Structures are given as C-alpha cells and as structure tokens.
A and B are shown apart, each in its own frame.
Chain A
Amino acid sequence: MNHDGRPPEGFAPAGRTSLWAARVRLALRSSRETWRAFAANPIGVVGVAIILIFGLMAVAHPLLMATLWDPTTYDPVTGFGFDEISHPAPPSWRHLLGTDPLGRDILSQLTASTTSAFVLGLVAALVTVGIATMVGALAAYYGGVVDAFFMRLADLIIILPTISLLIVLTALLGLNLFQLALVLGVLGGFGGTAVVIKSQALSIKVKPYIEAAQLAGGGPWHIILVHIVPNLLPLSLLYMMFTVTGAIFSEAVLSFFGILHIRMSWGIMIHTASTGGYLLGGASYWWLIVPAGAAITLLCSSFYLVGRALDEVVNPRLRGR
C-alpha cells in the first residue's frame, strides 16, 4: 500500500479496450496477491498438494486403461485377475494394491473412483454455494417475510437427520451420483450454509457503501449483485471447500450401505469388503479397506485444509503479522 501518489502501474486509459486491459491486469494482480497470502500458509499448500495428487490419479486411470491395463483384468467393475490363485489377493507386482473378493484390481478401483469423488464434491459444493449465496443475500436485503421464510426453511433442513433422510430418498428414488450431488447441494444451500452467509450479508447490508449505491440510484438487484454478492464470495468459497468434504463423506456412508446407483466409489469398495465379511478379519486383509479409507480421509481433509487456509486469507484478522 502506498500513499505517496506514485502510479502503481502504468495505466493509460483511452477507451473501451484499455479499460478491459486494466481490469484483466487488476484481476491478475489480485489473484497473485491472494495466492501469495494463501501460499504463506503451509496448511493450505499441503491441502492443495494432496488435491493435486488425487487429480493426477483421476487423470491417470483412463490413460492406464488405454495403455498398460488390459480391461479384462483391470476394469474396476468387470475385470478379474485370472493370474491370482485366490481372491482377495494381497499386493503383488501385477496388482500393486492387491485384488478385492471379486478379483478386481484395487488400484484401478481406487483411481477410477477419484473422478466420481471430484464430480460429486464439486457439483454439490457449487450448487450449495450458488443457492446459499443468493438465499443469504435476498434474505438479508429484503428482511421481513422473505427472511423469515428462508430462515425457517433452513431451520427445518438443519433439524432433519441428514443421513437418514438421504437413505430414505435414495431408497425411494434410486439416486445416481449426479442426482445425489444435486440433493446434497440443495440441502446444504437452503440449510446451514444459507444461515451463515445471511449473517455475513447482514453485516454488508448496513455498510455505508450500500447507502452510497442507493444514492446513485441503484435498485435492489444492482445492490445485491454488484455490492452484496461479490463481498460474500470469499466466504462462499470457503464454505464450498467445507461442502466438498461433507459431500464426499455422505457419499461414502450411503455407498457403504450399498444403496446408491453408482458403478464404483470408495464407499462401494469398503461396502464390498464389508459384505464379504472381511472387515472382521482385522489387519490381515488391510488392502481391502485401507486404500479406500485413506483416500476418503485424505481428500476430505485436503479440502478442509484448503478451507482453513482460505479462512485466514479471507479474514485478515486471523492472519499473523
């Protein structure tokens, strides 16, 4: 920050194009600054690194299937390891993480499931945050009946036992992965996240710059979209990270009960081990449980870590000197 009147960068505004050029440069500068603040925190960097590793796994699966892995042996759902005498087989050079009770390659299942975990988590998070931001902004701006309606709806969703509700819904409707993501997103968006974001929106609504926008002649939509929502986005992004964690976790639980219409997921991997009775075998069949369990834990915690680090960027109060 400098107060001495020196031009920070050489902007020479002369029309529409330079206006956009200036905006692009500002956006780049601010994202650089945000990244620097974010990267200063080891927690966030670790989180991003883990997410990147999972990203590589997700990309690797189709590539391996097309090149090294023969689909008859390595397909995560229909493959069978004819080379092993009995299944589940422990890790070997042909099956780095062993096979499951049905003779399928664990590593292939693990990498194949990564994509679905990402799709599920990100779709749920986007839906949640999109709904919660609009609901929060509207409830805070209009107050009164609008506020009362959305907040009572949120209360209703919060007091519902989520997992049992999801079990009932999936049993009745037979949800696939994408539909599950939508349901999780809608529940989150109208539920707890909306309450948090509304309270933030309330504190923005009373800022003098909202009055200044009214004085300029701006209507409700101008104020909501130009002034309230952009100032909510950092918090929304933060909650997005936490929603990803929640969504992946819910999927794992539902898959574990075996009630989702999903080809393969980490939850299903554990479900398979469980229905074969291998969960009771203790550590002797560890490759059936540990890879999937670790993947769930690691991916969930990586998004959580990123969220924590973002929190410090978004709330400068938490930032140390």
Chain B
Amino acid sequence: MLDQPSHTPFTGPLLQVRDLTLHYRTRQGDVRAVDGVTFSLGRGQVLGLVGESGCGKTSLGMGLLKLLPSNARLVRGEIIFDGQDLAPLNDAQMRRYRWRRIAMIFQAAMNALDPVYRVGEQILEAMEAHAWPGIEDGPAGQKRRQAREKVKELFRLVGLDPELMDRYPHELSGGMRQRAVIAMSLACRPDLVIADEPTTALDVIVQERILRELKSIQKELGLSLLYITHDVAVVAEVADQVGVMYAGQLVELGDTPQVFHQPMHPYTAGLLASFPSIRGEKRPLAALPGEPPSLVAPPSGCRFHPRCPRATKECRQEVPPVVGQGNAWAACWHPLGAAQP
C-alpha cells in the first residue's frame, strides 16, 4: 500500500476557514461570490457543500487553493490549513500546498486531460514538474520507474486496470477518465481533497461506482474531503457533515443526518423538499419561489428573505444571528423547530 502519512505536530482540525470573503470585480460592480464563510473540517472527515449554481460554492473551493481569475480579490478571512494560514501566501508559496497537500478534482476534469498524451504519461509529467514528490532520490531513470509503479498502484486504488496507463484519453470512457483524474489527484498523498461536482456529467451507475470508490479511498487513506455539489442526494451518500450555501454565504452547517432530518434554515428545508426521490411515499414537491439573487447587490438583512415563507421585518433589515452551536448551526431569525413568528 501507499506510504503512511507524515504526522505533523499540529493537532487541531485540518482546515479552518474563518470569515472568508471573496469578490470579483466586474463591469456591473463587485460580485460578492463568497461572503464571510466560516467552517472547519476535521482530519478524515467528509464535508459536503451544497447549493444552487451561482451560490459561490465553486469560488469557495477555488479560493481555498487561491486558484482564482485575475479579477478576483480575497477581501478578508483566514484559511488555516494544518496550522498555517494560507490567505497571505503568494503564488510560489501556495505551490507547495497545491496538489501535494491539497488536491482538487474539477467539475470538467475528465475533459481536461490532454488528448495527445497517454494518460499515465500526463501523471508522470506532473510528478516530474513537482520534483517527484514522495519518490526516493536517485538517478532520473530510476525515479521514473518508481513513479510508474506508484501510478500503477494508484490506478488499482481507484479501480482502474493499470494497463490503461498507456492509453490515450479518448480511448477511455468518461467514468474511466474521471477515475484517472482522481488517481492523479491522489498521487502525492494529499491530506485534503477538494472535489467540485466530480460526478455531475456522469451517468448514475458510473456515478455510484465512483462515489463508492472515493468514499472507500477516503476511509482507507484517512483523507479529508470537501465535496462540492448541487445534488443533495449525492451529499446524503458521501458526507459526514453538510454545509448549505446560499447567495455567497454558508447558511447552515451540521451533521448530515441532522441537517437532512431536522433542517433549521428554511432554505435547507426548501432545497430538500424540492428534490424528488425514488424511495418512500411519492409526495408533491414544493419549488422554492423566485430565483437566487444577484450577488452584486444582494438583498438586505437575511439574503434569503425575498424567497422565505417565514420572513418578517427583522429578516428584511438585520443580518440574522447564528443559532445552534459548534458544528451544528444555522444563520436565521426564525429557524425551523422554533415557534412560527
């Protein structure tokens, strides 16, 4: 199996994000894509991040690695990864973290493989560019052989035939390519993997298999996983904890069963009620009224108030308080479970 993780003396949660705020400058004004997001992710934990498109979840994921377009700006906040704040680091310093310690699986990653190179070759090339992480020092040829062995092992880990290393991307199906990308992300034995909609473009049978493999690898290697998706059903399958994002803000966070069975924020409840299921009684689905707000000029007070059935005057005027504690909370004036206003 792969080598054991090197234990660092820092013993707090692996990732602590505090008040992270990220803006994009556009012609229309600043888009507040991520606004005051705070959460932490423990070692070996899976945190699912759900929300509609445009809620800032992808920006958040990219922001953690500071892989942002030129018009983006990290306004404030801390990204404390293994005791070290990443927020003030520059690009060269970030490179020590990207892929080696924090890996990312993109939404369209399976289409990002270069069609003219063999799949395994691309992984080896990336390892070479990063000065052969996790490979013993030695002559170049020997390092390359070792790395090849390692990639084979990774392929087995994600349920791919190691023979496929020497195929071109177009010779693999979408599911196989996505698994090769996952193998690539694991090559440096990262502590944290950020997966942004890794199965969205895939069919359910393939999706199920990849989710299962991702989950078992995560357990086996003791990885922490930040799983970003719009699909609440997928989150229910993979995550220990769920964070719900709306209009750039985290509105509810809690253990998965808790959030699914006793949601506190009306948006969470609305989101859950709008998903059809093949299990249980067939029930009418309630669509959330309206559409998500513009992030250039978000609504005052609680950003959800224009669509919220429980909204009152204070919701329209004042930023909602955080109710609940620790790793189970919601930002709401009138959380569900409390008395109707």
Do the two chains bind?
yes
Minimal beta-carbon separation of A194 from chain B (angstroms): 32
A321 interfacial contact with B, CB 8 Å: yes
Interface centre among B27, B71, B294, by most A CB within 10 Å?
B294
Tell me which residues across on chain B come within 8 A of A321, comparing CB atoms.
Answer: 26-27, 71
- How close is B121's CB to chain A, nearest CB, in angstroms? 31
B291 partner residues in chain A, CB cutoff 8 A: 3-4
Q: How far is the CB of B291 from chain A (nearest CB, A)?
A: 6
Chain A residues closer than 8 Å to B294, beta-carbon distance: 2-4
The size class of the interface chain B forms with chain A is: under 10
Chain A facing B: main interface SS: loop
Chain A 1-24 against B: per-residue CB contact (8 Å), 1 yes, 0 no? 011100000000000000000000
Chain B nearest CB, measured from A176 CB (Å): 51
In the complex, A3→B296 CA distance in Å?
Answer: 12
- Report the Cα distance A2→B71, complex, angstroms: 22
A321 to B71, CA, bound (A): 9
Closest to B291 in A: A3
B 61-90 to A, binary, CB cutoff 8 A, 1 in contact else 0: 000000000010000000000000000000
Q: Which residues of chain A are near B27, meaning CB under 8 Å?
A: 321
> How far apart are the CA atoms of A4 and B294 in the complex, in Å?
8
CB distance from A43 to the nearest CB of B (A): 20
Nearest chain A residue, comparing its CB with the CB of B28: A1
- Of chain B, the residue at the smallest CB distance from A4 is B294
Docked complex Cα distance between A271 and B278 (Å): 84
Q: Once the chains are docked, how many angstroms separate the CA of A183 from the CA of B179?
A: 60
Residues of chain A within 8 A (CB-CB) of B26 are 321
Q: In whole angstroms, how far apart are the Cα atoms of A161 and B88 in the complex?
A: 63
A6 to B52, CA, bound (A): 22
| Binary B-proximity of A156-169 (CB < 8 A = 1, otherwise 0) | 00000000000000
Chain A hits for B71, CB < 8 A = 321
- The CA-CA distance from A2 to B294 in the complex, in Å, is 9
Query: In residues 1-51 of chain A, which contact B (Cβ within 8 Å)?
Result: 2-4
Contacting residues, chain B, for A3 (C-beta < 8 A): 291, 294
Separation of A2 and B26 alpha carbons in the complex (Å): 15
Interface residues of B in 290-327 (CB under 8 A from A): 291, 293-294
Contact with B along A204-229 (1 / 0, CB 8 A): 00000000000000000000000000
Minimum C-beta distance from A202 to chain B (A): 23
Bound complex: CA of A4 vs CA of B26, how far in Å?
19
Smallest beta-carbon distance B247→chain A, Å: 13
Interchain nearest-CB distance for B307 vs A (Å): 12
CA distance A2 to B293 in the complex (A): 10
Chain B residues 7-35 with CB under 8 Å of chain A are 26-27
Chain B residues in 8 Å Cβ range of A2: 294
CA distance A49 to B27 in the complex (A): 27
Smallest CB separation, A82 vs chain B (Å): 63
Q: Which residue of B is nearest A3, CB measured?
A: B291
Q: How far is the CA of A2 from the CA of B297 in the complex (A)?
A: 12
Binary contact track B173-191/A, C-beta < 8 Å → 1, others 0: 0000000000000000000
Residues on the B chain within 8 Å of A4, using CB: 291, 293-294
Contact with B along A134-172 (1 / 0, CB 8 A): 000000000000000000000000000000000000000
Q: In the complex, what's the smallest C-beta–C-beta distance from B54 to chain A, in angstroms?
A: 10
Closest beta carbon of chain A to B27's beta carbon, Å:
7
CA distance A218 to B25 in the complex (A): 44
CA–CA, A2 to B291, complex, Å?
Answer: 12
Chain A residue with Cβ nearest B70: A321
A265 CA to B173 CA in the complex, in Å? Answer: 65
What is the distance, in angstroms, from B207's C-beta to the closest C-beta of chain A? 26
CA distance A321 to B26 in the complex (A): 7
**Nearest CB on B from A2, distance (A):** 8
The 9 listed contacts between A and B (C-beta, < 8 Å) are: A2-B294, A3-B291, A3-B294, A4-B291, A4-B293, A4-B294, A321-B26, A321-B27, A321-B71
- Top-4 shortest CB links A-B: A3-B291, A321-B71, A321-B26, A321-B27
Starting from the known contacts A3-B291, A321-B27, A321-B71, 6 additional A-B residue pairs (CB-CB under 8 Å) come to A2-B294, A3-B294, A4-B291, A4-B293, A4-B294, A321-B26
